[in-house]
Structure 1
């Protein structure tokens, strides 16, 4: 790893991270927010943007920096959205959306993420950088760090947060694809309950 300024020290795709985070609040399927209610849950898009900008070096050249920021956050585009108001009239609103980038929900496994993983590993001497979050809470930062290929350590003093971290970060990785048979006494429960 070289001692170069990080991208976050010079620039950050704030508007794109904000737009992606607002959209993410409406996602209900497959999001970690559906695992357990957590009072201060961080948006995954904002965590992904912050981690990418922290782990990647600043290119130095303004044009390369702009291209990197666009690769992370995409472009902000204006869209016409039609919806019905309370009286049943169709009204048209102009909303901002994202085009491209890796911050929007559902893009965490897109090909640009593989490129970012390779860039990060290349910058850190072909090793996974270490990311530690001692007060990880709902687990958004460590989850995004794992998606970027980092070696992650996460903990929390709160036992509920610790268990959420185990269910979000550890158990899916350890038990994915394995089948577990129900014990015999569980199979007998319906007979016992009747």
Structure 2
């Protein structure tokens, strides 16, 4: 891509990325934070926004830039929640996003393909290469892969290396495969209760 200003140099969905990143703190099901506690893990929403805004060129037009940023982050709208405070029911107003592709669960949104195509178009029809030399928990390379980039993730910490394998490599190699549990674990009550609970069999023993 010619050396022209990137979108991130002119605009960025900062508030939307912040709101959707905060929503990830509670560990939604399937989130990579469930693999292993990594203290410096970056929010997926912020990584996705930063990557798109870094890889795409700035459109050069204020209105087009606004539409593009809204397509990434969506719109911020107020939401009223009712909570009990000191025994009284009170209404609390908070903000959330509508639309965009940053919120957890929107990684399969059709607009993701739009951004994959736009990124490839910006690089002459080829997938750009993204290098993360201190990949840690793998948030940046994971989001780069979701955007169709060729990714190299590196970390010298052996724990981070294994977390990266589990985040980026094993899901592609092992997706859809099922293997029987070893015989010895079937007699471990604590393990089986934990395993069945994780599979959604509540109350199973």
Per the TM superposition, whether the score is higher than 0.5 is yes
Corresponding residue for residue 100 of structure 2: 101
Tell me the TM-score normalised to structure 1 length: 0.92
Corresponding residue for residue 29 of structure 1: 29
Corresponding residue for residue 174 of structure 1: 173
Corresponding residue for residue 61 of structure 1: 61
Q: Give the total of aligned pairs.
A: 188
Task: Answer with 24-33 or 69-78: which moved more.
Answer: 24-33
Distance 1:192 1:64, change over 3 A: closer
CA displacement at 1:177 relative to structure 2: 2.0
Unpaired runs of 5+ in structure 2? 189-205
CA displacement at 1:191 relative to structure 2: 9.8
Cα distance per residue 1:120-170 (max 9 Å; x no partner): 111111111100001000000000000001000001010000000000000
2:2 corresponds to 1:2: yes
Tell me the TM-score normalised to structure 2 length: 0.87
2:132 corresponds to 1:137: no
Unpaired runs of 5+ in structure 1? none
Distance 1:190 1:80, change over 3 A: closer
Corresponding residue for residue 40 of structure 1: 40
Instruction: Compute the RMSD of aligned alpha carbons.
Output: 1.7
Partner of 2:80: helix, strand, or coil? Answer: strand
